[in-house]
Amino acid sequence: MSFKFFSLFIFSFLVLGLNSQTPIVDVDFNDCNITDKGSLGESIILINDAECNCGLEGESFEFDGVKDGINFDNKVNFLFNSNFTLEFYFTVDNKFDIVDLVSFKNECSGDSSFSIQYYPSINEIRFLAKGAEFENVELKLPLDDSQCWHHFAVVRNEFKYFIYLDGKISEKKNAGAKYVYSDRNILSISNNSCDYDINSRFLRFKGRMDEFKIFNYALIELELRGRRILSDKILNQDTTIYLGDSIGINMSATCADNFNWTGKQDLSDPDVLTPYIKPKKSTKYFINFLMRGRTCSDSIFIHVLDKEKLDCKGLLVPNSFTPNGDGINDVLRISNSFIIDELKSFEVYDRWGTRVFKTLDKNSGWDGLYQKEKINPGKLVYKVSYICKDEEYLSQGIVNLLR
């Protein structure tokens, strides 16, 4: 075996091994309990009586903003002195002051600690790491009001930290040296030691938390995006249909107390999440979800074409797609397959001329795999041969595969 091949084998093995790791701490709150299902088997203490409620893939815990909280025992403490990823999903109802979401400290102003905070007045999430001997690290990202559930993660990779929030990545900040956190710290949800300081502006977290996990390695942006659990989202992409046709709506899970569609006159039933929509003209439809006084929304644009005015030469194939598993733009498809009466072939070729995909189904698409392996990012060529109005056409172009 050559050294080059052996090195590639070892690298591939390490990457696959890394990505196959399970969380060290895994609290999904399902079945209304706070058992750690991760490999660490952390003991967890529920403070007061947080309420079990609707979650992303089962149940979540709802904190009252007054007394509810969670403490983890010290078995988890060693994780934060090397590479780690801490992630969770949350909804937040607080309106004032500084809100304690998650903290790892033993006193309000103590060094060698970190905290994850929400600032309602500026709608911002912050991560602050304080070191006794090192420069503080502060990272910030704005909170998107159009979403009810938020996906957050903080990642440490050697000297650098970054935070992730709903698909956005903060700048990466260098701590200057590896932080060594105090072994007396307590990891907590909504139980920051500042909550007991009458002079502090910290408030307990009011809202829901779900899918709380810690990994003992640094997840990369692609992995974080791939872990996103969709909620309160229309799963259909914007589309084009013929005048007189309808489209059925697919919806992700939701914990909304109520919802409201626009364009109700075009819906088969405006009182269901998944109606059929039959537009008379090109229209953008919105659905607004109401959850505990907060409104979040999503939309779909349906372009309507008159079949009598159809342009057979106007076949549309996206110029890029991102097969990263986040449920958005994961598959390369013909956008307006409705103009095709018969598909002769839809093919994709890599830069070396290898055909990596072929289908005879005009509604099928390519997921970015070739022989069950991921294709590297880059430019590829597509070719579509089809029949429209009894004539044969060929459309070809360049598509960018992004990961």
Q: Is the pLDDT of residue 286 over 60?
A: yes
Q: Are strands 137-142 and 150-157 parallel, antiparallel or unpaired?
A: unpaired
Pairing relation of β-strands 247-248 and 258-261? unpaired
Q: Is the pLDDT of residue 7 over 80?
A: no
What average pLDDT does the segment 181-192 reach? 89
Give φ, ψ of 258 to 5 degrees: -160, 170
SS3 299: strand
187 compared with 326, residue with greater pLDDT:
187
Domain ranges of the chain: 21-226, 232-309, 311-403
CA distances from 309 to 28, 30, 239, 306, 357 (A): 53, 53, 18, 5, 32
Interatomic CA distance for residues 379 and 398, integer angstroms? 7
pLDDT digits (tens, 9 = 90+) for 106-135: 876 667 889 999 999 999 999 998 876 667
At residue 179, does pLDDT exceed 90?
Answer: no
The DSSP code for 351 is: T
Give pLDDT, residue 403: 77
Cβ–Cβ under 8 Å, residues 181 and 80: yes
Fold of 311-403: Immunoglobulin-like (2.60.40)
| Structure tokens belonging to residue 340 | 């095709």
Burial profile 370-398: b = 16 or more Cβ within 10 angstroms, e = fewer: eeeeebeeeebebbbbbebeeeebebeee
The pLDDT assigned to 40 comes to 86
What digits encode the pLDDT tens for the residues 218-255?
Answer: 999 888 988 889 999 999 989 888 899 999 999 999 99
Query: Is the pLDDT at 20 greater than 60, yes or no?
Result: no
Q: What is the pLDDT of residues 135-151, one digit of tens each?
A: 788 999 999 888 899 99
**Distances from the Cα of 262 to the Cαs of 58, 182, 266, 284, 288, in angstroms?**
29, 53, 9, 9, 8
pLDDT at 13 over 60: no
Taking each continuous run of H as one helix and of E as one strand, the counts in the chain are 2, 30
Burial 104-115 (b: 16+ CB within 10 A, else e): bbeebeebbbbb
Q: What is the mean pLDDT of residues 280-306?
A: 93
Architecture of domain 21-226: Sandwich (2.60)
* 373-374 and 283-291 strand pairing: unpaired
Counted residue by residue, the chain has a size of: 403
Contact 250, 234 (CB under 8 A): yes
Rounded Cα gap, residues 314 and 397, in angstroms? 13
Mean pLDDT over each residue of the chain, to the nearest integer: 88
Domain 232-309, CATH number (from 3.40.50.720, 2.60.40.10, 2.40.50.140, 3.90.550.10): 2.60.40.10
Helix H or strand E encompassing 402: none
How far the first Cα of the chain sits from its last, in Å, is 31
Which single residue is written with the structure tokens 């007991």? 196
280, 244 contact by CB (below 8 A) = no
Q: Which of 8-12, 26-30, 171-175, 196-200 has the lowest mean pLDDT?
A: 8-12
**Phi, then psi, of 224 in degrees rounded to 5:** -65, -45
Topology alike, domains 21-226 and 232-309: no
Query: What is the rounded distance in angstroms from the CA atom of residue 216 to the CA atom of residue 75?
Result: 13
Instruction: Give CA torsion, residues 363, 231, 170, 216, to 10 deg.
Output: -100
